[in-house]
Structure 1
Amino acid sequence: MKRPMEGVRIVEVAQYTFVPASGGVLAEWGAEVIKIEHAVRGDAQRGLVKLLGLDVVPTTSFFPIMEGPNRGKRSVGIALEVPEGRALLDELIRSADVFVTNFLPGAREKLRINVDDVRVVNPDIIYVRGTGFGARGEDAGKGGYDGTAFWGRGGSADGVTPGGADRPARMPSGAYGDSMGGLTIAGGIAAALYARKVTGEPSVVDVSLLGLGAWATQYSVNQALLVGGPLPKVEEPRHGSSSNPLAGSFRTADGRWLLLVMLQPTRYWPEFCERMGRPELVTDPRFAGDAVLEHGAEGGDIVAEIIGGITLDEWCRRMEGAQGQWALVQNAYEVGMDPALRENGFITKVVDADGVERELVANPVQFDETPVRSRRAPQFAEHTDDVLRDLGKSEEEIIDLKLLGAVT
């Protein structure tokens, strides 16, 4: 299968996960992605030691927080503040289709990587900015992470925090909004490449974490705009909902949580009761037909009692082939081992720099029913010499550039 982005070259001047994750996606789709890292420090994310309270210091060459967003790239260490290094960037830009960055306006100005600077070198290049709060307005120069711009300011933290809580809920995973942002940027780049092919005009593509956060919570935001104020915190019953006993979280006898989302209780109640060995509940006046909608909380307590009396294995046996929608609440390892992910090729294998086979979550887009092929992320500045040779530099010129401090 020809991967759809084969033949596309992307130059990336970006750090952390938001924006770099787009390059990881596009590399899996076939693009050549050249990652420009600071000649001494590299991507700042390489220096992280903790994330959400967990140690992330690598004990091998395989560093998951770098592997995820940087899979399949080539890394070049260039000192953009050194004239000779900046000239090398121009050479790479000249042959590229796309330039991506998440540097703040001040840094872009200083390093001369704003739109006009890049377009002077390559007028046809697609220019991509990932920002915290957008490219315009008083917050355009303000830095942001997904924990601030996407999760907090974008509405997700409030949306998942119960009323009366003593603190807002935190993100469920490191780089949570960043990873979604990378996929969003990749889609924007694909659209811009298509537009350039059709019209001949290159685009400037902007994606912000705040905009992404608002998009993710758009139902609530749209509803709040409609009513003209904040939405109330709805206090649902402990089990089920006020109008549906088959919607909510329920715990099995062996302590596993199930999420039931059977949004048509009149349809699914009879099936549930039969499978749980409680057929009398089907004709119970409280729950027969539309009456179930009036006794959601009461029915939810009964459902909780039923589920609480059986193990997860027994639940799965009884619900095999059932029409009602439910899911097990899985931890991160269980997600990685999920049969549906593996059977569909969404867990991909890579060989790390030590020759050890590892696994990564693949991006969720497939073409022609074919799982993506992925490669490990580069070590810091791993491909500097190779890329310089591709630019036609001799061994003597490469040594001179290193002595000048222009490259790693």
Structure 2
Amino acid sequence: MSGLLNDIRVVELASWTYVPSAGAALADWGADVIKIEDTRGGDPCRNLVVGGLDPAHAPVRANFMMELGNHGKRSIGVDVKSERGHQIVGKLIAKADVFLTNWLPAPLERAGLTVERIREFNPRVIIARGSGHGSRGPERDRGGFDAASYLARAGVAYALTPTGTEYPVTQGPAFGDLQGGITLAGGVTAALFHRERTGHAPIVDNSLLAQGMWAIAPDIAAADYYGIDRIPAGEAGTALNPAVNRYKTRDGRWVQLMLLQTDRFWKGFCERIGRPDLAVDERFVPLANLVANQEAATAELRRTFAERDLAEWQKVLADEPAVWSTLASPQEVLHDPQVAANDYLMKVTDDSGRAYRTVSAPVQFDETPPRPSRSPEYGEHTETILLELGLDWDDIAAAKDAGAIL
């Protein structure tokens, strides 16, 4: 069942991708998510240009970044800081189960949305906050984006950059945001469960800093245990265990080997790739010898994989019982039959009937994918939502005239 959160209402006051992606996940799971956007242009993600891919020139009427973090929601345009707008937000929160935000403490206070004030609107509402660096401490009011707070400050780039490279690793758009968003959505569902059992509505916090630390928790733990900067790693293209490494094929593609139980799989693997000699070579058997002679073993495997194209290796390794995979491109992921079988892509059409796909939240219930849904137009549902709150058309007209709503 994809409607696990049916009848749950989420009021979201958030922009960009991190916290909005938590709202998208909750919407995928059945919640009614109302996105509050300001009256001066809405979520800046609507106009985000990534890699030179201008949404104004897209073949479909959709911004792929906006779709990822906002599909399935309803949008209302409100000037939160105006008196009428503040009253509308209060009415929204009064009828909500969750208030989801990435606003920092100081802006929330200026908008009259402190925890205490929100509790006055609705003592049962769960307050869920996503921040750059956490809700406490000297930098609680410092903004953050994932490339800074997750990748850089949390140590992710340091831990993942191969030894000897000139530049640290970088990330694609929303890499840490989407991980943080799904974590925050999980925290919200746990809080909903707790509220149903006890009546207490917890405050839920997640940060990009915490999410990055969780991503490289083994390196951080090892740094504490052994007094080192990170888990030892070799130069790019090398691995302590040559059977857990990447190898380039003749046509320039890559195969990732993950023979973690190497002694169990090594003999059959070597025979399968046409190198039975490696299975009986005393330099490489048992695993301790393979690790001790990693340079020689890696060189042998590099030469072997360079002799065939990827398509040939995929046939050769089709029945390999150990874990391995092709390094796939995003285009290939779009056409992966396993992706299709599990409905990991959501197919949507724009208002001209042109189809496009977006990735849905990575958790399903009862093997049922979420209902396909697009992101809302800016302020698309403003009047509908206000009518649901009990405002009449005269109230709505007065609010529009005052600039409190779109």
TM bin (shorter chain): over 0.9
CA contact (8 A) 1:287 1:295 kept: yes
1:313 corresponds in structure 2 to: 311
1:300 corresponds in structure 2 to: 298
Residue number among 299, 320, 323 corresponding to 1:322 in the alignment: 320
Inter-CA distance 135–152: structure 2 relative to 1 (3 Å threshold): same
| In 2, Cα distance between equivalents of 1:376 and 1:238 | 41
1:197 corresponds in structure 2 to: 196
| In 2, Cα distance between equivalents of 1:321 and 1:24 | 38
Report the 3-state secondary structure (helix = DSSP H, G, I; strand = E; otherwise coil) of the residue aligned with 2:280: coil
Provide, for residues 196-243 of structure 1, a one-character-per-residue CA deviation record: whole Å limited to 9, x for no partner.
11111111111111011101110000110112342365325845x34x
Report the 3-state secondary structure (helix = DSSP H, G, I; strand = E; otherwise coil) of the residue aligned with 2:16: coil
Query: What is the CA-CA distance between 1:104 and the residue it aligns to?
Result: 1.7
Inter-CA distance 370–145: structure 2 relative to 1 (3 Å threshold): same
Give matches, 1:135-146, under 5 Å. 135-146=135-146
Which AA in structure 2 matches 1:294?
Answer: A
1:287 corresponds in structure 2 to: 284
2:143 paired with 1:154: no
TM-score, normalised to structure 1, is: 0.95
Provide, for residues 118-172 of structure 1, a one-character-per-residue CA deviation record: whole Å limited to 9, x for no partner.
111111111111111011100101000011111111111111212333322111x
Provide, for residues 60-119 of structure 1, a one-character-per-residue CA deviation record: whole Å limited to 9, x for no partner.
421111010101000000011211111111111111001011112221111111211111
Provide, for residues 273-298 of structure 1, a one-character-per-residue CA deviation record: whole Å limited to 9, x for no partner.
21122223322232344543432221
CA contact (8 A) 1:346 1:362 kept: yes
CA contact (8 A) 2:17 2:178 kept: yes
Report the 3-state secondary structure (helix = DSSP H, G, I; strand = E; otherwise coil) of the residue aligned with 1:234: coil
In structure 2, list runs of 5 or more residues that go unmatched.
none
1:355 corresponds in structure 2 to: 353
| In 2, Cα distance between equivalents of 1:200 and 1:30 | 22
Report the 3-state secondary structure (helix = DSSP H, G, I; strand = E; otherwise coil) of the residue aligned with 2:18: coil
| In 2, Cα distance between equivalents of 1:61 and 1:40 | 21
CA contact (8 A) 1:13 1:100 kept: yes
Residue number among 225, 244, 249 corresponding to 1:247 in the alignment: 244
2:219 corresponds in structure 1 to: 220
Which AA in structure 2 matches 1:10?
Answer: V
Inter-CA distance 392–133: structure 2 relative to 1 (3 Å threshold): same
Inter-CA distance 355–285: structure 2 relative to 1 (3 Å threshold): same
Residue number among 232, 242, 264 corresponding to 2:261 in the alignment: 264
| In 2, Cα distance between equivalents of 1:286 and 1:227 | 30
| In 2, Cα distance between equivalents of 1:11 and 1:279 | 62
In structure 1, list runs of 5 or more residues that go unmatched.
none
| In 2, Cα distance between equivalents of 1:292 and 1:215 | 31
Give matches, 1:359-378, under 5 Å. 359-378=357-376
Give matches, 1:2-401, under 5 Å. 3-49=3-49, 51=50, 53-59=51-57, 60-171=60-171, 173-231=172-230, 233-236=232-235, 238-239=237-238, 241-242=239-240, 244-290=241-287, 291-401=289-399
| In 1, Cα distance between equivalents of 2:291 and 2:234 | 17
| In 2, Cα distance between equivalents of 1:292 and 1:183 | 39
CA RMSD of aligned residues (A): 1.6
Inter-CA distance 275–336: structure 2 relative to 1 (3 Å threshold): same
| In 1, Cα distance between equivalents of 2:273 and 2:341 | 30
TM-score, normalised to structure 2, is: 0.95
Deviates more, 1:264-273 or 1:309-318: 264-273
CA contact (8 A) 1:336 1:361 kept: no
